[in-house]
Each structure stands twice: as C-alpha cells, then as structure tokens.
Structure 1
Amino acid sequence: MLKAWLFRLHRWLALGFAVPLALLIATGAILSVEPILQTVKLSPGELTLARIDGWLAAKDPAGKARGLSYRNYDGRLTIQGVPERGNVTLDTATGLQAADGGLAGFFGASRRLHEHLLFELDWLVIGSTIAMVVLMLMGVAMGLPRLRNTLGGWHKGVAWFGLPLLIASPITGLFIAFGISLAPAGGPGGRGEEPLPLREALAIVARDKDPSQLIWLRMRGGRQLVRLNENGAFNVYSVTRAGLSETPKNWPRLIHEGNFAGIWSGALNLAISLALAGLLGTGFAIWLRRRLRPRRRDRRANPVAPPALAS
C-alpha cells in the first residue's frame, strides 16, 4: 500500500514540476560545456600583462573600472564599469572594441535562465530543485528495482544506480542558493580594505600567475578577488598589496558548476544532465503510455462496426 502511494506521489510531483525541471536540466547541460571550452581553449602566454595594461590605459585612463572578465573561447576581454561607457568588450586578437561573443552571450542567457527561470522566479527554481531531491528519495524508498530491458527498467536502473552522482547536482544547487559553502570561517585577508586600482591589482596577479588563466578580477564580499583557471581547477585568490592568497574552496559551487577538474568535471556534469533528462523523458513516456492503455483496451473490447454498404 505504501509503495502504491509513493508511486502516485512520485508520478504527480514529477508531472507538476515537469516544465521547470526540464528548463533546469537543459540549461544545466549547456552550462556544463563552458568549463570544458575554457580549459580546451586555454593557451598559456596568449594574454600578457603588457597587452591588458595597454588596453586598460587606453580605455580607462582615469583608472575607474571595477573589474575584468575574460572568455578565451570567444576571444573577448571585458572591462567592467568604465565611467560613462559601462562595460567595454575587446577582441583579444586585435585589441579593438567588439561586440560580446556569441558563445559568452549564450552561456550568460542560459545561466540566467538556470538561476532565475524566465521571470526572476528564484522561489520556483529552489522549489523545483527540492522536488528533484524528493523524487529521487521516493524512488529509493520504493525499493530495489528488477532490471529489465524495458522503458521502466532503464528508468529505475539509471535512477537507482546513478543516485550518488545524480543527487549531488540538486543538493549542491540548494547549497549555493542558501549560501552554504562548507568552507572554514575566516580565510585570507583583504576584507574591508580599499580596492586596488585595476592595473595595480592585475600587476600583482601577473607576478605569480599567467594572465591567460584569468576568468575574472573584481570586488566581491568586501574583497578584491581574482578567479583563475589552473589546469582546469577554477581557483579564487584574494588580491592585496602583499600578494595573492588562495581562498577556501567553495566545493558545492565547484561540484555544481563542474569546474574543479576542467574537461573531466565538465564532462561528468554533462553526463549527469543527460541522465536527468533521460529520467524525466522516460518518466513522462511511461505516464503517457499508461494513460493511453485504457483507451486501447476499450477499442479492442468495443470495436467500431464498419459502415454497411449501400445496396
């Protein structure tokens, strides 16, 4: 009896959240590709301090810009917060001002959709993510499946034996939503200090790191931080005049975004997204087949007589 009730609740909860879950899974799959591209396209020495410093001097002579972001797969460097001009995007091959890269725009739109859906519906994102966790736990509570080469057999088998990896995605997403980083309190200094001019901060980064590894450099949480792609691991450092200090790793974010091991973590997240899409799709197909089955039986039990031929 309990299993039957769990089955019904599992089915209707999945149907009720089907649309937002489909959007979250699809955009999650798209975003899984970004760290793969950022690692594949990383070319040591491609960006130098001299080149970036020259662009900053030309585009922000007053030194008022607030940050930098670099998307190597599009060949675009963005200077953020240039007075009276907003953001300025440069083509790193030519140094000329250019439109935002198409891939970066696509990933940005996917990220906004993934985090807020279409209408800033953060509560629905969180609710759908909780529903995904509940669906997985109910699937486990219904008992160990019998593996069969059927639609239902594959649905249950993937859900059961892929559970440790599959459930990590929504749980880490909830950790991010509720600000849980699992990092120890404190961390390196820099909090509350006056931010360094961008050119000076960049020079400090370049003393120890390759500027080509840059993902972004900006103020966050009262500290001037830089995020670097170091062999596929996206590490964050606090930037002060004393130098760079690595911040504690935010493992929920690293796992959820798939950027702790470059190509491999991105590929793992992509596989998880495809598995979740398969579960949602097969679940819907199983429900649809059950809905259509009674109609087929009715047709077989009460066949429609063919019209009589006119004499």
Structure 2
Amino acid sequence: MQKLSVKGMALSLHRWVGLILAPLFLLIIISGGVLAFKPIVEDPMITGGPAIVKSEVLQSTLAKIDPADTIRQLNLSADGQVMTVISEADGPNGSFAVATGERVPGTGTAIDIFGIVKSFHKNLLIGAGSIVLYATFAMLAIVLIGPFLSWLRMSNTVLGWHITAGWLALPLFIMLPLTGILMTYHIDIGKPLILPQSGPRAAFVQSIDTVSQTEGFKSVISARRFKAGSVMLETVTDKGQATYIVGKGLAVQKFEGPGLFKSLHEGTWAGAWSGILNFLIAVAMSLLTVTGFISWFRRWRQSKRKVGSADADILVAYASQTGTAAQLAEATYKALEAGGAKAACMALSGVRIEHLGQYRHLLIIASTTGEGDLAEPGRAFMASLHGAELNISFSMLALGDKRYQHFCAGGEKLRSVLLGTGAQEFMEIVRADGAPQKAWHEWLDGIQKALSITVGEVEAPKADAPVEVTLIERNRLDNCEDHVTSETWQIVFELKSAVPFRPGDLLMLSPGKGETERCYSIGNSAHVTADRIILTVSRNVWTDEAGTKHFGKMSNLLCNALPIGTTLSGAVRYHPAFNPPDDVTTPVIMVATGCGIAPFTGFIEERQHSNQEKGPAWLLFGNRHREGDFFYRDTLASWEKSGALTRLSTAFSRDEGDGTYVTDRIVKNGAEIVDLIRNKGGILYVCGKTRLGNGVDAALVTALVTNDNIPQAQAEQTIQQWKAAGSLRYDLFD
C-alpha cells in the first residue's frame, strides 16, 4: 500500500506541477530553442571561419566612431569587413566598415536578437531570474519522476507518444535543465571562472589592446560588456578560439574554451551539429509539455460528461438487465424535461454516492435477475452504500415477474440498503409485474403529485412484440469430438409475420405453459434478413449431488429435443441500449466469451451490408479451445477479409501456447481501446456471463492505470463515467 501511495503522490506532483507551470516551461524551452540557432549561424564550417582583423585597425576605427566609449557589444562579420555595434545612450548603433568606420548603407540601430532572447531565457526580460531557476528545478524534477510512473509502452496515442518520447530521450531531456542549473551556480568542468570584482569600468578599445598583446593572439571575433564593468572578448589564437575577460586595472583571464556544461547547454560543443541537436531537444520538450496537457485535458473533459441538465436536481438512475429498465428511465427523464424539471439520467453503475448530494430527489428503476439479485449495473452502487450516510429522498419502480419465486427482490434489496443509509422514501415503491408500462405510468403520476411537479407527455417504451417462429435449421458450432467444450448450436427460426428487430434485441421463449420466459440475444438484423431470427444457444447441462445429469429446459429444447418445423409463440423484447450504433462510422469494440458472441454476428452483418463508409469494428472473442469452440470461425474470417470486421483478437484458455483470456487481450491492447473510447467516440459492448463484466472492468482499470498513469480509484471512476455516458454497454447473464 505504501508503494502505491508514494506513486500516487509522485503522479499528482508530476501532473499538477507540470500543468500549472506548463506556460512558463514553454517560454523557457522555446526561447532556448531559438538560442540553439546561434551556434548554427556562427558555425565556422558554414561561415568559412573567422577572418583575421588586425587589432590596431579595429582599435583605430572604434576610437573614431565611439570616442565616448559607449559601445556595449561588438560583432565582426565572417569576412572581417563589417562590424556591428550596439551602444548605450546616444552612441553608435548599426553596421560599420572595419577599415574606414563609414556606416554601411541600409543599416540603422542594431537589434541583438540573440541577446534579447537570451535575456528572456534567463530572466523573462524582467529580472525574474529566480523564477526561471525555480521553474528549471521543477522541470528537472518532472523529467526525473516521469519514468517511474510508467514503463515504456509504444502506442499510437497522445499519451503513448508522450511516454515513448519521455523514455527514449530521457538523457537529453535531463541534460538541458540540469546544465542550466549548474551554469547558474557557476559549476562547470574545466578551469573555474573567477568573476571580476567591482571596479573601474574597463574601456572597450583598451581591453582589445590589452588582449592583443597576449601570447598567441590573432584576432577579435566579438566583444561585450560583462560583469562588474569588465569586457569579455571572443578571440582567435594560434591554438584555436579563446575567451578573455578584462577587468579591474585591465587584469586578464584567459579561457581556452567554454566548460563542458556550458557547451552542452548552449549547443556549442560541435558547432552547427550540436546547435541542431539542442534545437531538436527543445522541440521535443515542447511537444512533451503539450502532449501532457492534451492528455490531462481529455481526461478532464471525459470526467465532466453528464447526461441531462448541468444543474439537475432530480436524478433518474436504473439497473437494467434486459434493457427494459434503461428504456423506462430514459422515458422518465424525457417526461421530466418536457414538464420543465431539471433532470439527469444514468445507469446506477455510473452513480457515485459522493455526488448524490447535488440532487434533491433520486428516482430509481431496478430490475431483478437470477435468484432475486439486483441487475448487474446496480450491484457496485448497492455495495458502495454500506456504511454510508445519505440525505436524499428517493422513490423506486421495481420490475419483476410474479411467476418467479423472488418477485422484485433485486429492487427490494436496494431499497432496504438505501433506507439503512438514512435516505428517505418520498413515495412508496411501485412493483411492476410483467409488462411494466401500466405500473410506470402510475409511478410517474405519483411522482408528479408527491413532488408537485409537471410531467410532460412522453410515449412509453415499446412493449414486447408477440411473434410466432418456426424452427427451420440447427447447426452445431462446437466440435462434438472435443468433450470439454459446451454443446453450442446456431438456431434459425422463420418468422410467420415481419417484426422489426435489431442485433442485441431479445427473443423471449417459454419451455411450456406457466413457465417463465427465457431470453436469447438475437444475432441478425431485420434490415438484412427480415424473415428469420438467428440465435446462438449453449445447451445447459449440470449434474446434481446424486450424479444425475440435468438439462436446461429451454436450451435442451432448442439444441436437441425440438423437431425441425416446430412453431413456438414468443416475443421480441427491444433492447436499444445494446443495439449497434445507427452510425456505422462509430468505432465498435465487441467483447464476448462463449455464446456471448450471439448478438455480435448481427452487429457485423449489418456493417457488411451497409454501403456507407464504416468505422473500426473490433471483436475480442474468448473460449476454451481454438479447434473445439471457435464459434463462427469461417464466417468471421470472411467478414475480416471483406473489411466488415476490421480486427479479430482471440484467446483460448485451455490451448497450449495460448492459455490466455479475453481480458488479457484487453490489457495488452489497452492503449488502443482507451483511445478508441475516449478520443474517437467508440463504444465497447460486452456480452457473456456476469463474471466477464467484472473481468472487463478490472482489465479496463488496469489499462487506464498503466497507460494513463492514474491511480486505481480514478481509473475506476472513469469506467463508471463511461458506463453512464453509454461508452460501455454490458449484456450479462448468470
């Protein structure tokens, strides 16, 4: 735990210091990048090397044009014919012929671009050198902390490039701020610089004369006023270039060249080549700063996404297993909005108890599944309520079926936990038996009276559509010789009369009179094959304590006992929350295990038959054996070849050489999946058993922690926000 805490603190420091100081970092880095051009334009290999100018000629001309000794900077052209000077007060400025002292035509007041930029780089032009120094320390700290927050992972995302660049160029990113700090404290490798003490001002001409008398002197390249009234001269000697400082009493210090740290920081150690390198480093550091900000901004923007009014005071939340509760919740939200109320709507999986305080009222629609369990999207929320104290009023519409033993038990459990937190029920629970439309209208009327609000006229969600279907085909999908696999079949029904449906909608079938209906995901689309419904069904088999084998009633009928040609009565239950997006350019990520692949064959079929330009369609499918239960193998290969399925990732847990799960594939491809959801508007669909939903949640959290460098709690919150926004859609069964 301590390790995670330290990492979390380091991450916060890295992110917030970088974010707050990003503008200052960019100013320092960009100005440094401009200064990197100085050794490029002054490189002897480019300029042909400095020309030799006789000292006495230069002194004579300076005395002529500047008798008052006002010059503070002098630079000679590469050919030695022209000198450019910058003076104080009313002294000469511009370019002059070295031989005659005549002003070169077309020149006026000289502007020292590099000098101005250097002053900006060192003190922001306002004498703020200490601010620049502290910012450089912060920059170095951020660069050093970065590699400890994430391992190098190459991915084509903004954050992926940010991490990759940070790792690959780490020594270079350390070099510039570190050498800048060392230079500030006059620490270098080589002969130490002894700064001149305060004293009389050294005259420019006299300083040149003094240096010209030193051993090996050949010519002056440039000169400028330095500290404490001294003059610094860059010269050519018989041993190469050297720097002199002429100070008090014309005392002379000689340096054969700049120190190592100064050369590295200024990019002068290899002329133009080192200048180019420093410029490229500055560009990379600027991009690193920008990509870091973009990554943060995208996460911040995602965290602010919300369905409904920004100032909503009524929250409609739902726990839906087959989509009915979700449809009713959306209709409730629209009715409230139409009546003028300020409302928001989201799945309970996206609700966090710390945010409930912003709402006056909570309206919950909850369905029951399994043995009286709350529908999966509400379970994490219900678990988070234990030990909490809430000050909110609520009312609940519980969906159920009295033919089941545990009628509305899921909603009842959630209601009991809410009351235990101190939440107040402003209206009694309403229980819907079977088709919920009538109970929903009664619940809405009660809310209207209890809260003294107006509810607008909104059409109730479509009820189940009765159908008659005839079994016309049954195809075995698993390898019957592999005795480890589950017996799984493709079931094809012919519709007696046309009914609109889409992949992900549900076919409700009962194994006999008085028996509760079982729901099966539809794996085709009425847009393509309107006269039939295709299911993928595994035969449910289990052995009791006495060793007697049992079969699921409906699954055994569908997979084995029902003769071809048999007609059944059933119903299509619409499940729009799990239909493929209407816009086929929307990226779709489909995650399935076993017969959870059922709806996704229809997803891909719709895209196959669309004439529009299509977005990415990525299926991640997992099962036990590639040669035993790789359902629809040839069909998927055909769709992949045609481009309807743009990517297929598989995991077979019992195969040698594989042994992985589909959730492992999510972790491995986490950066791409997160990028599709966050940056490209993609939707991730999950179909399978309840434990698959939990595994996908955990895998996505791992992907976010690893690739976004965020704490686990923040990653978990992001997952809930994606669920609330509809970017993650689960259809799970027990």
- Classify the TM-score, shorter chain: 0.7 to 0.9
> Given the alignment of the two structures, is residue 140 of structure 1 paired with residue 160 of structure 2, yes or no?
no
Q: Which amino acid aligns with 1:32?
A: A
Offset, 1:131: 0.5
Matches within 5 A, 1:149-298: 149-185=156-192, 197-198=206-207, 200-201=209-210, 203-204=212-213, 208-211=217-220, 214-216=221-223, 225-228=232-235, 235-237=242-244, 245-247=254-256, 249-296=258-305, 298=307
Distance 1:89 1:8, change over 3 A: same
How far, CA to CA, are the matches of 2:162 and 2:58 in structure 1?
51
Matches within 5 A, 1:31-110: 31-39=35-43, 40-41=46-47, 44-45=50-51, 47-49=53-55, 51-61=57-67, 64=69, 68-70=73-75, 72=77, 76-78=83-85, 85-86=90-91, 88-92=93-97, 95-96=102-103, 98-102=107-111, 104=112, 106-110=113-117
Give the aligned partner of residue 15 of structure 1. Answer: 19
Of structures 1 and 2, the larger Rg is shown by 2
Q: From 113, 119, 136, give the equivalent of 1:112.
A: 119
Offset, 1:117: 1.5
**Structure 1 gap ranges (5+):** none
The one-character-per-residue Cα deviations of 1:10-68 (angstroms, maximum 9, x if unpaired) are: 11010111121111011111111122112234554375546523421312457x56765
SS in 1 for 2:36: helix
Provide the alpha-carbon RMSD of the alignment: 4.1
Higher relative contact order (CA 8 A, sep 6+): 1
Distance 1:18 1:237, change over 3 A: same
> Given the alignment of the two structures, is residue 129 of structure 1 paired with residue 136 of structure 2, yes or no?
yes
How far, CA to CA, are the matches of 1:165 and 1:80 in structure 2?
37
Offset, 1:3: 2.7
Structure with the higher helix share, 1 or 2: 1
Structure with the higher strand share, 1 or 2: 2
SS in 1 for 2:156: coil
The one-character-per-residue Cα deviations of 1:185-232 (angstroms, maximum 9, x if unpaired) are: 588xxxx99968145236437963344xx13255657876422479xx
How far, CA to CA, are the matches of 1:133 and 1:118 in structure 2?
22
Decide whether the 8 Å contact of 1:215 with 1:226 is kept in 2: yes
Bigger mean CA offset, 118-127 vs 237-246: 237-246
**What's the TM-score once normalised by structure 1's chain length?**
0.76
Q: Which amino acid aligns with 2:144?
A: L
How far, CA to CA, are the matches of 1:171 and 1:243 in structure 2?
30
**Structure 2 gap ranges (5+):** 309-325, 339-455, 457-734
Offset, 1:154: 0.9
Give the aligned partner of residue 29 of structure 2. Answer: 25
Distance 1:185 1:107, change over 3 A: closer
Decide whether the 8 Å contact of 1:205 with 1:243 is kept in 2: no
Name the % identity: 26
Q: Which amino acid aligns with 1:69?
A: L
SS in 1 for 2:234: strand
Offset, 1:174: 0.7
Distance 1:186 1:147, change over 3 A: closer
SS in 2 for 1:276: helix
Aligned residues: 295
Decide whether the 8 Å contact of 2:71 with 2:91 is kept in 1: no
How far, CA to CA, are the matches of 1:186 and 1:11 in structure 2?
38
Offset, 1:179: 2.2
Distance 1:229 1:289, change over 3 A: farther
Offset, 1:107: 2.1
**What's the TM-score once normalised by structure 2's chain length?**
0.35
The one-character-per-residue Cα deviations of 1:253-292 (angstroms, maximum 9, x if unpaired) are: 2221112221011111101100110100000000011011
Decide whether the 8 Å contact of 1:66 with 1:198 is kept in 2: no
Offset, 1:168: 0.7
Q: Which amino acid aligns with 1:271?
A: L
Decide whether the 8 Å contact of 1:28 with 1:273 is kept in 2: yes
Decide whether the 8 Å contact of 1:226 with 1:236 is kept in 2: yes
